[in-house]
Chain A
Amino acid sequence: MSTILNLDEDHRDCLQEITNVAMGQAGDRLARLLDTFVILSIPHIEVMASSDIAMALQSIDDTSSVSGVCQGFIGGGISGEAMLLFNDTSFADLATLMKYDDELDAQAECELLMDTTNVLFGACLKGIADQINMEFSYGPPMVLGQHMKLTDLFRSHSNTWDHALVTEINYQLEGYNVNCDMLIVMTDASMEILLKKIDYLIN
């Protein structure tokens, strides 16, 4: 039986709270690294079918062109993958932000995407891991596609799962035209341990 489909309100609220706190910490760390104020949206947590993710994205227009990067994490029985979607208009700003002085050819863009993903996602997941008292190891970021329509980006990958717990967080950086959407996707395989950890926090 799917644990995800039967996720109750208490667990969801608690997860929401954990993520909120993590984002606060992430914002602080990122601000120190990037010397700019980071505006993070309130995380939006939802159980979604794999086919619904593209449609459900709240902060990105599904007709605009985006670049997507994925990064997996695993540790102590919990695993998942994050996907970061970057608005394509934001490359020059992203480069300034990450202190890239090199010329932005396709390869440099790719590296920029991977580095930014690693930084934004790492900062966020670290906050979550600390609260549930775990340590995750991360895989290297992988560029899923550059300058594609959102729907094409999702179409190119077939999924082996039906439903997943999806956390959506939108990043905006003060003074920069950088708009980035982060999704953390976890499947049923992680639920048992995750819920146990949450129960421990609730009780």
Chain B
Amino acid sequence: MNKETHEILNEFHWLMAALQNIDVGLVILNTNFEIELWNGFMQNHSARMPDEVLGKSVFELFPELPESWFRRKADTVFVLKNSAFTTWEQRPYLFRFNNYRPITSMADFMYQNSTIIPLTNVRGEVEHICLIVYDVTEVAVNRLQLQEVNTQLQQLSRTDGLTGLLNRASWEAELVHEYQRYQRHQHLCSMLMFDIDHFKRVNDNYGHPTGDEVIRQTAACLKENIREIDIAGRYGGEEFAVILPDTHAEGALVVAERLRKKIDTLSVHYDGLYVEYSISLGIAELNPTMNEPTAWIECADKALYQAKHNGRNNSVIYTEK
């Protein structure tokens, strides 16, 4: 062997060592998607040695890799001689590699990004593609956790802690939204407002924790008796408000009466004591004379006031006098 050949071989040797040991996955595929190179990273994570995979179709060996999806990506590489990319957001992984660190691992499997690059032969044609697989588990898990926390925070900032209903601010935002929708489409829509009769007495006679329990159970009863599309909020201390889309006043009255009767038979048990109570309800159907959202609330409030005036534990539909 002459000196020059020896040097080339030597260079080739350390180049291969670098490819073998680099901490990303390297896979070279031919036009039939048969594996022609499988570096150390891939060997270690897949527990398959080169003699098990070389010359075999990547789709047969790894059924988790969707063939049509991957071919579509690879096609652009072959035809355009252009890199293609996959991200964990599109597809969490190409090869399912299980978590290997029992203590610090954050996910069950390795999230992967990948780049597919064209490899040209001496004539400038692409006969092979190189798939580079990156382990992005930490980035992915952190991002997912952040998203989850943000969703939770958003949820927390929208709801009332005691009842789980919308808090006043977010209920009012929904109200404005519904009002704007009405202006555009003039669909039917009603509002139901109610409060607990003589709530102050409950607090005074049984204590605030019992009062809280009464509010909580009222909210629970409310949730059970409205539809998914209805928008319920805790408007004030013992005051509740519900928007009932696509519902006329009479329909809302049915809901109101059902709720009123349920509450009337309800007995809240707390701290060894039983509390029985009632609610009064006001209903207002949205109409074109209400020129802003607050006017709608005022009407429902007036009806509620009328219900109180009528002796409580009843429902009243707002009418213009």
Contact = CB atoms under 8 A, between A and B. Distances in A.
Given A99-B72, A101-B68, A115-B73, A140 B87 contact: yes
Contacts of B85: 114, 118, 140-141
Interface string B48-92: 000000000000000000001000110110011111110101100
B113 interface: yes
A115 B115 CA distance: 12
B90 A119 contact: no
Interface in A141-163: 141
Given A115-B76, A140-B115, A122 B83 contact: yes
A114 B90 contact: yes
Contacts of A138: 82-83
Interface string A127-140: 00000000001101
Contacts of A101: 68
A118 B83 contact: yes
Contacts of A111: 90
Counting chain B CB atoms within 10 Å of each CB, which of A30, A100, A118, A141 scores highest? A118
A110 B83 contact: no
A126 B124 CA distance: 14
Given A107-B89, A122-B80, A138-B83, A33 B113 contact: no
Interface in A85-143: 98-101, 107, 110-111, 114-115, 118-119, 122-123, 126, 137-138, 140-141
Nearest to A125: B82
Contact of B76 (A33, A100, A140): A33
What interface size band does chain A fall in?
20 to 34
Contacts of A126: 80-82
A114 to B, nearest CB: 7
Contacts of B75: 33
Contacts of B81: 126
A11 interface: no
What interface size band does chain B fall in?
10 to 19
Given A110-B89, A111-B90, A118 B72 contact: no
B82 A122 contact: yes
Contacts of B83: 118, 122, 137-138
A196 interface: no
A99 B79 CA distance: 15
Counting chain A CB atoms within 10 Å of each CB, which of B79, B81, B82, B113 scores highest? B82
Given A98-B72, A140-B115, A32 B82 contact: no
A127 to B, nearest CB: 11
Contacts of B87: 114, 140
A138 B84 CA distance: 9
A4 to B, nearest CB: 28
B79 to A, nearest CB: 5
A29 interface: yes
Given A122-B80, A126-B81, A126-B82, A140 B89 contact: no
A100 B75 CA distance: 13
A137 B84 CA distance: 11
A171 B145 CA distance: 39
Counting chain A CB atoms within 10 Å of each CB, which of B76, B79, B81 scores highest? B76
Contact of A33 (B73, B80, B89): B80
B90 A107 contact: yes
Interface in B133-186: none
A29 B73 CA distance: 15
Counting chain B CB atoms within 10 Å of each CB, which of A98, A101, A107, A111 scores highest? A111
A138 B80 CA distance: 14
Contacts of A100: 72
Given A33-B76, A99-B72, A101-B68, A118 B84 contact: yes
Contacts of A123: 80, 82
A123 B77 CA distance: 10
B147 to A, nearest CB: 13
Given A101-B68, A140-B87, A118 B113 contact: no
A33 B84 contact: no
Which 4 A-B residue pairs are closest in the complex by CB-CB distance? A122-B82, A140-B85, A111-B90, A33-B79
Interface of B: 68, 72-73, 75-76, 79-85, 87, 89-90, 113, 115
Given A33-B75, A110-B89, A122-B83, 5 more contacts: A29-B80, A114-B85, A118-B76, A118-B85, A140-B113
Interface of A: 29-30, 32-33, 98-101, 107, 110-111, 114-115, 118-119, 122-123, 126, 137-138, 140-141
10 contacts: A30-B80, A110-B89, A114-B87, A118-B82, A122-B83, A123-B82, A126-B80, A138-B83, A140-B87, A140-B113
